[in-house]
Each structure stands twice: as structure tokens, then as C-alpha cells.
Amino acid sequence: MNNFLHKLFGTTPGTGVQPKEAIAYSVAGFGQNFICTIIGSYITVFMTDALLFGADGVMVGGVSGAVAVAVLMLAARVFDAFNDPIMGSVVDKTRTKWGKCRPYLKWMAIPIGIMTILCFLPVFSAESIYDGSKTVIAFTTIGAIYILWSVIYTIADVPYWGLSTCLTNNTEVRGNILTVARMFCTVGAGIVTIFVPMITGELTKQYKYADTAEDLALIAADKAEAIANMVANQGIDADAAARTFLGTVKQGMEIANAETLKWIYFVCAVVLVVAAIPMFFYGFKHTKERFTSDEEAPSLGHNLKLLFKNKELLLIVLSGILGGARMVYSYTGGLYFAKYILQNEGLYGIITLLVVPGGLVASILVPWMSKKFTKKWSYIAVHLFGGVVMAVMYFVGYDAPWKIAICAIGLVLLGIPQGVNNIITYAMIGDTVDYLEWKTGERGEGICFAMQTLINKIGMAVGAFIGVMSMAIAGINARTYEVQNPDALWNVLIISGVVSMFACAVPMFFYTITEKRQREMVAEIAARKNK
């Protein structure tokens, strides 16, 4: 087994980074994605569906509740994303006996766990929000907690990814470690995205998708005496009396659905946090930093100047920002589509699961693709391919079984750019750390990998914003499950993905670091240090 692991990671027995460290690093990412995904995929749904900010008539400061949630998600994430350079600078200033990145896995595990649970506080009544008595208080409270969560998550996330460059400066070994780590992250995220909607769907199905005719018949039979009294005393017909009872029952079911959903999300958050925290500590305990600078820590201003000297990194950042909507179908919008259009939120798990096979295959092939075509051209090719796939899905549509089948195949294929992007981007940023040291004599792992977390957060911000806005554009009512314009949701999700896939490939045509050039830079850096 040990020989297999060395071959998998490309490591050398007894020298440099060892497989147990790579596995520990991956385990920490697995746990981190429990927390990241429960927030990234479900905090907006918690606000729109469990707290009913997405219900018709709910307003926050005169603005539609759903629109207010969309703006909050976008503003909070963009604000948090631009905290990443600050945190990157803090990491570069950190000096401890454990290193500069590792200690944050230990220090931040419990704080991020606590804040994650607080984001799903079940203290606000859905009914009080719907009638307006606590709308602003609830929105402000959850919004403030979410913003604070984002800041604390940054303190944990930036050093985690920066740690990969501290483990080794061998680009191939680092790429292999990141490949496995991203696979662990994907599995961690997949567990959350598959099982949480299955749980919420199963435990709330009694309240949703009711058939009016069947309900009328049941109520007419169950309330026969009361209906007869209404007919006799109020002079209305039996159908009207049954509908009156139906309206009362439905209203109670709508509130019960929201209240049940609220507690399900809270319990899921607690369970995931309890499972994730030990993984952070495991990653801390079983890794070791080898490549860090002992020079005096630079200032934030100096780090920002370094950032703008790293033109290769800035191209990756620009590409990541342009690609912010390429996976919007896997965020909130995909859940809304499954829940309100397909009328089975458990299918959201299937949507995300369909992406996994292509992603896993791509992840396995990344080392080969990088050697054969370079990271740059692999990145460009898979995103152009992804844009074509999404364009085909758009023109095919979703309103027939055979169309759904074609789109399912499309989702499998979309796993390829998703899988490649999840790994190659981190590996390319690692190469830009070497490029920066070659160019300036300073590595700046913190500030460089802060850009990766910035890209991730921009993607999550755009995904949440587009998802909730698509809900508003489609005229979805989270209380009654009514949808005024189903096609609008589909159009927004797919077209935004097509544009984003093509756009993110453009900056990478100007990226110049190849695998050969990276090895030459590392050799030149080593020669300078040995003089």
C-alpha cells in the first residue's frame, strides 16, 4: 500500500512530503467542504424557503424578500472575497513553531463550526416573517451572522490552500496532492448536496405538491357535517364550503412545511459540523511545512504590490471571475429547479451526482493532461467544451423525457470542465507562487492563494445571486409552490452558464507558464539560494 501511495502522489520514501501528509491534507479538505457546502448550497434556500423570504408578499424594506436575499448573498460574498488579500497578507506575516499556514487548521476549526450552526438559527417563526412582524429583524440577524461567518471562513480557507505550496515545491507532486485533495473535497461536497435535499424532501413531502381535486374530495368527506352547516347557515354551495376548508388547511400546511424545513437544516448543520471539526485537527496534526520564507513579513501594501507584479496570477483571477456563473446549476438555482419545476427536491442530489463521474474521470486524467497538453491548454479546451455542451442543453430544453435524458448526459459531460478546473486552477496558482519568487525573490503563498479563495467566493456569490434572482424572475412562491414562468428559470441558469464557460477561457490564452518553464524557474531559484 505504501508503494502504491508513493506512486500515486509521486513522492519519494523518506524524502520530502510523504503520502500520510497528502492524505491528512485531503481529509481536512473533505471536512471543510461539509461546512462550505451546507452554507454555499443551502443558506439561501434556508432564507427563502424555511424563513419564507421567497414567499409572495414578503418584503424587506420595500423590496421583494427573494431579491433582498439575492442582493445580500452577492454583497456579502463580494465583500468577503476582497478580505482574502488581507488574510493572505496575515498568513504571510504568521510565524509559529507549526509554520504559517498549518496553525489556522487548529485555531479556526471550532469558530467556523460554531458560526456555521448559528447561520441556521431556528429561532425565527416563518409565520411571523410572512405577516411582517419580524421580517426586518430576522433578515438583519441572519444576514449579519452570515457575513461574520464569511470572514471567519476566510481565516480558515486561505491558509488551507496556501499550505499546498508549503508541503512541496515540486509542481508534479503538488499537482498530484491537489488532485487527490480536490477529489476528497468533491466527495465531501457531494455527500451534502445529495443527502440534504433527500432528507428535506422526504420529511416535508406531506406538505407539498398537493392535488386540489383530491384535497377537496378528502375535505368534503372529512368535514361533511361542517360543510353541511355552512351550506345551510351561510347559503353557499358545498364546493365553495370545501374550498374554504381547503384554504385553511393549505395555509397551515404551508407554515408547517417552512417550520419543519427550518429545523431540518439546523440539525443537518449541527451533524456536519460535528463530523468536520475533527478532520481539521487531523489535517493540522499530520502535515509539515517545508517551503516557507524566514524573511521579515511583508506589509499588506507590499503584498498588494507583489500581487500586481504577478501577471500570470492576475490572468487566473480574471478567468475565475468571468467563470463565476459556469456552475450556477449546481448552486441554489439547481435546487430551485428540482424543487419547483421538477417538483422533487431530492432530484437536486441526482443533478449534482450526474456531474461526479465526469469530474472524477477528469480528476484522474489531470496529471496526464497537464504533461501532454500543459495545464493552460487543458483548462482552455475543457471550458470551451463545457460551453458547447451547455448550449446544446439550452436548445434541447427540458419539457419531455427524452430531453431530460439528453440533459442528464450533458451534466455528466459538464463534470469534465468542473473536475479539471477544481484541480488545475490550484496547481496553476502554485506555479505562480514559484513565478513570483523567480521574478521578485519573494514567494507570497498567502496573497497568491488568497486569490483562489477570492475566485471561489466570487463563484459562490454569483451562483447564489443568479439562483435567487432566477427564482424571482420565474415568479416562484416559496409558500404556495406556484411558478408563474418555469422557462425563465431554465433560461437564466443555462444561458448564464454558456456565457461564463466561454468567457473564462479567454484570459488563459495569454497565460505563459508551462511545466517546463516552472521547472526551470525552480532550478534557478535553488541555484540563487546555493550561491
User: What is the CATH number for 176?
Assistant: 1.20.1250.20
Burial string for 407-437 (b: 16+ CB within 10 Å, else e) reads: beebbbbbbbbbbbbbbbbbbbbbbbbbbbb
Question: Is 438 inside a domain boundary?
Answer: yes
Contact 177, 17 (CB under 8 A): yes
Count of domains forming the chain: 1
- How many C-beta atoms surround the C-beta of residue 103 within 10 A? 18
Strand partners, 63: 60
Question: Is 226 inside a domain boundary?
Answer: yes
Strand partners, 476: 483
Question: Is 339 inside a domain boundary?
Answer: yes
Enter the C-alpha cell of residue 227: 360543510
DSSP string, 92-134: HH---TT-SSTHHHHHSHHHHHHHHHHHT---S-HHHHHTTSS
Lowest mean pLDDT among 27-41, 446-460, 507-521: 446-460
431 has a pLDDT exceeding 60: yes
> What pLDDT score was predicted for residue 89?
80
State the pTM of this model.
Answer: 0.82
> What pLDDT score was predicted for residue 205?
81
Amino acid at residue number 447: I
Averaged pLDDT of the chain: 87
Q: How far apart are CA 507 and CA 186, in angstroms?
A: 26
Question: Is 8 inside a domain boundary?
Answer: no
- Judged on CB neighbours under 10 Å (0-12, 13-18, 19+), 445 is buried
Question: Is 525 inside a domain boundary?
Answer: yes
Question: Is 16 inside a domain boundary?
Answer: no
pLDDT band at 221; cut points 50, 70, 90? low
Q: How far apart are CA 250 and CA 264, in angstroms?
A: 21
Q: Which is more confidently placed, 421 or 447?
A: 421
> What pLDDT score was predicted for residue 273?
98
pLDDT band at 53; cut points 50, 70, 90? very high
Contact 49, 258 (CB under 8 A): yes
> What pLDDT score was predicted for residue 303?
80
Q: How far apart are CA 417 and CA 425, in angstroms?
A: 11
Residue 59 is part of which domain span?
23-287+296-529
Question: Is 149 inside a domain boundary?
Answer: yes
| pLDDT tens by residue, 162-201 | 898 889 888 789 888 988 998 899 889 989 988 999 999 8
Question: Is 9 inside a domain boundary?
Answer: no
